[in-house]
Amino acid sequence: MTDDRDRPIQPPRQTRVGRWRHLSLWAVCTATIFATFALDLVGPPAYAANGFPYLLAVLAVPRGRPRPLPVPLWVAALVLALLWGGAVWHGDGNLAIDRIVASALVIAAAWYRWPTQARREAAPMDAAATDELSDMPVRLLTRAVEATDTGIMITDPRLPDNPIIYANPALSRITGYPADEMIGRNPRFLQADLGDQAALDDVRSAVRAGRTADVRVENRRKDGRVFINALQISPVRDVSGTLTHFIGIQRDVTDQVETERKLRDETDLNAAILETVEALILLIDAAGRIVHANRACERLTGYRLDALRGRRVADLLLPPDEAATMAAAFHPDAQGGYVQRFQSVWLTRDGLRIRLAWSVSPMHGADAVDNYYVFSGLDITQRWAQEADSEQARKMEAIGELTSGIAHDFNNLLTVIQGNLEFLSERLDLDARLARRVADAREAADLGGKLTRNLLAFGRRQSLRPELVNLNTLVATLSDFLSRTLGEAITVETVLSAVPPWTKADPAQVRNALINLAINARDAMPDGGTLTVSTSVEPSNDDGGQDPGTGQDMGQGKGQGPDQGQSQGAGRGPGRTGAARPSSTPGLVRLRVSDTGVGMTPEIKARAFEPFFTTKREGAGTGLGLSSIYGFARQSGGYVRIASTPGVGTSVDILLPRHDRLPTADDDRAALGPQGGSERVLLVEDDDRVRRITSAQLEDLGFAVCEAANAAEALERLADPPQPDVLVTDVVMPGGMGGVALANKARAMLPTLGVLLISGYAPPDLSPAADTGGESPTAEAANPLARPFPILLKPFSRADLDAAVRDVLQTVRPGGRSAGPGH
Ligand SMILES: Cc1cc2nc3c(=O)[nH]c(=O)nc-3n(C[C@H](O)[C@H](O)[C@H](O)COP(=O)(O)O)c2cc1C
Ligand SMILES: Nc1ncnc2c1ncn2[C@@H]1O[C@H](COP(=O)(O)OP(=O)(O)OP(=O)(O)O)[C@@H](O)[C@H]1O
Ligand SMILES: [Mg+2]
């Protein structure tokens, strides 16, 4: 098999014509010169006019040449020829040297013309060939055309339908057609049914106008496979400017186009990802200047890309206290690792602080120096606040468990101390000095009781008497009292909600909380100021409002009032405020106490709810105020939040579940007066000392008391007549059965038995159903007795005990008033 490139080259016909014409011209000139010499030497001066053939030979250079002979040559040849002719005319035979010089010039002129002209004629397809090529044999150039990988074809527009007259081997390889199958056809046969019309229009008009074209067209190979042909067409003209040929240069760029497409797709995809991801992506140079930022970055920071570009992160986005965190990103970590991970806080255009978790990786420049850094950041402001929030909640939970455990044990001790002191002071005939001692001891025991009550309140274990409360009424009745108590330097203002803010909570505790907050506010305004108590109804949908769990870091130092920050929610998950709220509650009611006092630093704010945390001097504060409000709010199904800015003021919100039912006359239990004694009370208490003092108190109150040390004993007593009217029982008792189970059993035996629980702390749910687990809620609702057993918290005074027992008797006595369902 012979290689295409070995084929002999067929020079174009026109080339041969040109060469013969010039060879013959050259021959005529030379012959004329030699003939003249010969005649000169041998002949007489009669041949005087023999200079003219030289002149004629010079002038006989063909016309139509693209470049004329240089003018000086023309002039020199003409003058010398005339001189020489003139000398011969005068018959002076000594001028042979002049003739030789003149002859040489004429020959040189002829030579000069000839090869130039011959070269032009011999290479019709390259009218603009350079002089260097002039010496290159045509065969060599043709060999190059044959050897290239680029397809080359020549068409002849002077023939019908501009057919291919030459195709190189590379074109055969590209199209799959041998040269002889292409020659004689217009190249359009390669298009089959395909073709980009715009590209073909381009070619068509270029061909028509005899100009160049540079297009990509879809062509089909002989084997049917489609390929993309990068086609360049250039016209060829002869010396007279007439269009003689077209040269087509073809390359199969299918793979290249595919690669380009893939690259483009990839680039588009990358751009789309970059613009749609939630993450911030920035390209930052080694000097910390932003080179590029994605859409998320614009969205989050509030700056447009043009405002970000070229700016240093440290100048535009970093709060001063954060400068160090960012600087670390530009150095490899301790292990020399590439990807840096860290968190930093940025300031948005609006001055908000956002917390971002970054990973940074350097991008190597061409010289392997880290020129750029790719920053990819996630906005973790919310998550971070929630984590801090739930961390705080966990801490409070643990402290709550601890304090209520201690308080429970102390309550038993205090009950004994208090009861016995009360007993002694009444029964013994003490002199004034001793009576004073006992009074002091009783006072101390009372204070101890208050302390443990606060601790229980914080641990959400206080005994609450929830009632329907209108916060507006509650605030209105207290505001005068507050104005008087807080002193003249403090102005008390109230802003009450237009919608009545009904809630169900223990009114005594709400009052307590309000007074506590007012005292805190007073202490924060030693030089006076304004205390504002306001109520409002918060929408049930929290979306539009401030999520108390997320505001921790926001808006600091902007002087727009206290920032919304720390909060503690009851039953809330670490997430949104509304998430764990009972779905039946139509939102929340808010009681807000704001002051214009010293405010709290973030550190104080973070610890304000902790029991015993106080910044007040020794003896001035117990640090139990906010913690008990916190416990109360949570136990009531709400939460508390603090917003505070140092030097601006503080506002504390108590949020409680909103109640949409208006109170009925039955809800007002205050009208109930005490009833007469002499009823039988069965007292069940495992602690001997507590039992003894309680029994003594009951007897004092006129009740007939029968004692039991545990549930089993109590059940025996219940079985024997006379049956008791009221069961007063401790909640937590040894022997397998607790007070609630006992009460349920006793109720089953004696449906009209009154029940009063006494406890060191109140377990969350003491309803009969909670202990039996079997009763249906509807049966419970139908039975007026099936409601949570009232509970009296230790330590209690005789008066407390009296009130509680009589209260119980009221509800079970035939004809007595009972609290209906829903209470
Ligand atoms: C020198 C030359 C080479 C050409 N090579 C190709 C080619 O490889 N593939 C192609 O589709 N068209 C090629 N063409 C274009 C077609 O020959 C033709 O000009 C085009 O299809 C538009 O004209 P039409 O409307 O007459 O078909 C070439 C044209 C010239 C002058
Ligand atoms: N309105 C307020 N302004 C500034 N700081 C306050 C405010 N309320 C509370 N604090 C800070 O929170 C701390 C805890 O308050 P909390 O009410 O729990 O305890 P206390 O007021 O110090 O003591 P107690 O209430 O038991 O008398 C206070 O010591 C004070 O530092
Ligand atoms: Mg306080």
**Measured from the CB, is residue 598 less than 6 Å from ligand 2?**
yes
Nearest atom in ligand 1 to the alpha carbon of residue 162 is 31
| Cα–Cα distance measured from residue 723 to residue 730, given in angstroms and rounded to the nearest whole number | 19
Are 513 and 609 in the same domain? yes
pLDDT of residue 135: 58
Tens of pLDDT, residues 617-633? 887 888 889 999 998 99
pLDDT of 464 higher than 90: no
With a cut of 60, say whether residue 609 has pLDDT above it: yes
642 and 497 co-located in one domain: yes
Does 348 or 587 have the greater pLDDT score?
348
* Confidence (pLDDT) at 194: 60
The pLDDT score that the predictor gives to residue 777 is: 34
- Asked if residue 596 is part of any domain, the answer here is yes
CB of 713 within 8 A of CB of 751? no
On the 0-12 / 13-18 / 19+ scale of CB atoms within 10 A, 311 is: middle
Which residues, 6+ apart, have CB-to-CB distance to 133 below 8 Å?
123, 126, 141
Tell me how crowded residue 761 is: count the other CB atoms within 10 A of its CB: 23
Find the helix packing angle between 381-427 and 432-458, rounded to 10°. 160
Residues with CB in 5 Å of ion ligand 3:
520, 625
Q: Does residue 635 lie within any of the structural domains?
A: yes
Torsion angle of C-alpha atoms 125, 127, 128, 130, degrees rounded to 10: 80
Highest-pLDDT range among 499-508, 515-524, 749-758:
515-524
pLDDT digits (tens, 9 = 90+) for 222-273: 999 999 999 999 999 988 889 999 999 999 999 999 999 999 999 999 989 9
3-state secondary structure 378-443: EECHHHHHHHHHHHHHHHHHHHHHHHHHHHHHHHHHHHHHHHHHHHHHHHCCCCHHHHHHHHHHHH
Q: Does residue 191's CB lie within 6 angstroms of at least one atom of ligand 1?
A: yes
pLDDT value at position 821?
Answer: 32
In a shared domain, residues 610 and 708: no
Pairing of strands 467-470, 529-538: unpaired
389 located within any domain: no
The amino acid sitting at 493 is E
209 within domain boundaries: yes
| DSSP three-state, residue 366 | coil
pLDDT in tens, 522-538: 999 999 999 999 999 88
Check whether residue 701 and residue 608 sit in a common domain: no
Say if strands 649-657 and 639-645 run parallel, antiparallel, or are unpaired: antiparallel
Q: Does residue 461 lie within any of the structural domains?
A: no
pLDDT at 766: 44
pLDDT at residue 73, rounded to an integer? 67
pLDDT the model gives residue 9: 41
pLDDT tens per residue across span 129-169: 444 455 567 888 889 999 999 999 999 999 999 999 999 99
> Which structural domain, as residue segments, surrounds residue 168?
148-258
Q: Is the CB of 57 under 6 A from ligand 1?
A: no
How many beta carbons lie within 10 A of that of residue 522, not counting itself? Answer: 20
The verdict on 572 and 499 lying in the same domain is yes
| Confidence band of 214 (pLDDT split at 50, 70, 90) | very high
Protein residue whose Cα sits closest to atom 3 of ligand 1: 248
Confidence of residue 540 (pLDDT cuts 50, 70, 90): low
Strand partners, 726: 681, 754
**pLDDT score recorded for residue 65:** 39
Compute and round to an integer the Cα radius of gyration of the chain: 56
Q: For the beta carbon of residue 710, count every other beta carbon within 10 angstroms.
A: 18
Check residue 331 and give its pLDDT.
72
- My answer on whether 794 and 727 are in the same domain is yes
- End position of a domain, from candidates 379, 395, 420: 379
pLDDT of 449 over the 50 cut: yes
Please name the residue whose Cα sits nearest to atom 13 of ligand 2.
614
> Is 551 in the same domain as 652?
yes
The per-residue pLDDT for 67 is: 44
| Helical (H) or strand (E) element with 707 | strand 704-708
45 within a domain of the structure (yes/no): yes
Which residue has better confidence, 99 or 463?
A: 463
Amino acid letter for position 233: I
pLDDT digits (tens, 9 = 90+) for 547-596: 333 333 323 333 333 444 444 433 333 222 222 333 344 688 999 999 99
Counting ligands in written order, the one closest to the CA of 621 is: 2
Number of domains in the chain: 5
CA-to-CA separations, 820 to 231, 337, 774, 780, in angstroms, rounded? 96, 71, 21, 11
| Domain presence at residue 426 | no
The pLDDT tens digits of the residues spanning 30-61 come to 676 666 666 666 655 444 445 455 555 555 54
Shared domain for 585 and 715, answered yes or no, is no
User: 281 or 15: which carries more pLDDT confidence?
Assistant: 281
* pLDDT tens per residue, range 710-745: 999 999 888 888 888 999 999 888 888 888 889 999
Among 458, 486, 592, 626, the mutation site with the greatest number of ligand 2 atoms within 8 A of its Cβ is 626
State whether the beta carbon of 608 lies less than 6 angstroms from ligand 2: yes
User: 437 lies in a domain?
Assistant: no
Q: CA end-to-end span of the chain, whole Å?
A: 109
Ligand 2 centroid distance, CA of 620 (Å): 10
Ligand 1 atom closest to the CA of 157, numbered from 1: 31
Cα(80)–Cα(105) distance, integer angstroms: 9
More confident residue, 90 or 100: 100
Taking CA 386 as the corner, what is the angle to CA 396 and CA 543, rounded to the nearest 5 degrees?
A: 120
The last residue of a domain, from among 351, 379, 407: 379
Say yes or no: 678 and 650 in one domain. no
Q: How far is the CA of 571 from the centre of ligand 2 (A)?
A: 24
Q: Average pLDDT in the 194-202 region?
A: 81
